[in-house]
Amino acid sequence: MVDEILRQLSPQFNKMYAKAGRPSIPPEQLLRAQLLQLLYSVRSKRLLMEEIDCNILFQRRSAVRLGGGPDGSAAGRELISK
């Protein structure tokens, strides 16, 4: 259900992206992470990032990759918590 809704919203999100500059974290991934935070009663974004980093269930459900590599391919904790 969530996948379908996010697929429908994806074209609208794509219109909002800037054509130049560093690529940002896809809004679909951020929304998934926030949904997990609400469903599993995670108290803070910092704790959510720890769960995503350690818990396979959170990794698969959120599709958020952590790391913050120099090429901007993965989201760092500091980027998601802003």
Long-range Cβ contacts of 46-50 (<8 Å, 24+ apart): 46/77, 46/81, 49/77, 49/80, 49/81
Cα angle 30, 37, 66 (rounded to 5 degrees) comes to 50
Q: How many CB atoms lie within 10 A of CB 20?
A: 4
What integer is the mean pLDDT of 54-62?
Answer: 76
40 occurs within a structural domain: yes
Supply the pTM of this predicted model: 0.63
| Count of domains forming the chain | 1
17 occurs within a structural domain: no
- Position 70 confidence tier, pLDDT thresholds 50, 70, 90: very low
52 occurs within a structural domain: yes
